[in-house]
Amino acid sequence: MSYIQFKRGKHRRAALICPETAKMTSEMSKFSVLLLLLLVVCDRSSGFRPYQSVLQVQNGMSWGEWRQKDMCPDGMYAAGFSLKVERSVGDADDTALNGIRLHCIHKDSSAPHKSYATVQSETGSWGEWTRIEWCPGGFLTSFQLRVEPNQGKGDDTAANNIRFLCSTANILEGSGMNWGNWGEWSARCQGKGICGIMTRVEPPQGSGDDTALNNVQMYCCD
């Protein structure tokens, strides 16, 4: 048997605790610790990292929903990107830009980058990944999106391509598609550079018109 003393004013009272209850209490404590650790891991895997600012553009489309953000590991910043692009399928249903990957390096890394981390938010179901486009130095600090507006009864593709501005003032353009027009540039990063991404993606529509990636926003870290 186990005893627990309760203090109330100047008087003490002993409560009798059976072994089964004590064991259950111990197991619950272990479970609570494990649950807390799992919550910390889940937070980090879903994009837990402090950021200084969020970069957005005004010409993105609104089909689909915003998905999870994905952040570069601590101490790393995006210096390159690659795209998931579906090439023209003729008279069938085009989707153009389906996904964007950011490739993150340590702040003291230099080209050519042989060691890097890759992050991405949700992507569409179609297309292939292009080669990585790297800044010659520094990090990605701003972006511009090429978007096809609503086509009415025609075939919609939404986002088609993306450009990034490097902190060295170089502009990188992706190997996306050419439907639609370039919008205005986002604001520039407050902080060292882009460190995370979140996409707006429409899921497959079955027999309906698919658009895949519609919009994107970037996160900047100090």
pTM, 2 dp: 0.79
Q: Which pLDDT tens digit goes with each residue over 206-219?
A: 999 999 999 999 99
Low-confidence ranges of the chain (pLDDT < 70): 1-47
Q: Which pLDDT tens digit goes with each residue over 101-130?
A: 999 999 888 778 889 999 999 999 999 999
Runs of H (alpha helix) within the chain: 19-45
Strands 140-147 and 159-166: antiparallel
Tell me the residue type at 128. E
pLDDT of residue 46: 45
Give the span between the Cα atoms of 157 and 167, in whole angstroms.
30
Rg (CA), the chain: 25
Buried b (16+ CB within 10 A) or exposed e, 83-96: bbbbeeeeeebbbb
pLDDT of residue 110: 78
Extract the runs of DSSP E, i.e. beta strands, from 36-88.
53-55, 65-66, 70-71, 76-85
Give CA separation, 87 vs 33, 55, 102, 175, in Å.
49, 27, 21, 10
DSSP character for 45? H
Q: Phi, psi (5° rounding) for residue 76?
A: -120, 150
DSSP character for 38? H
Coil, strand or helix at 102: strand
Quick one: 53-221 is in which CATH superfamily? Vitelline membrane outer layer protein I (VOMI) (2.100.10.20)
Q: Phi, psi (5° rounding) for residue 84?
A: -100, 115
pLDDT of residue 98: 98
- Count helices and strands (H / E) in the chain: 1, 16
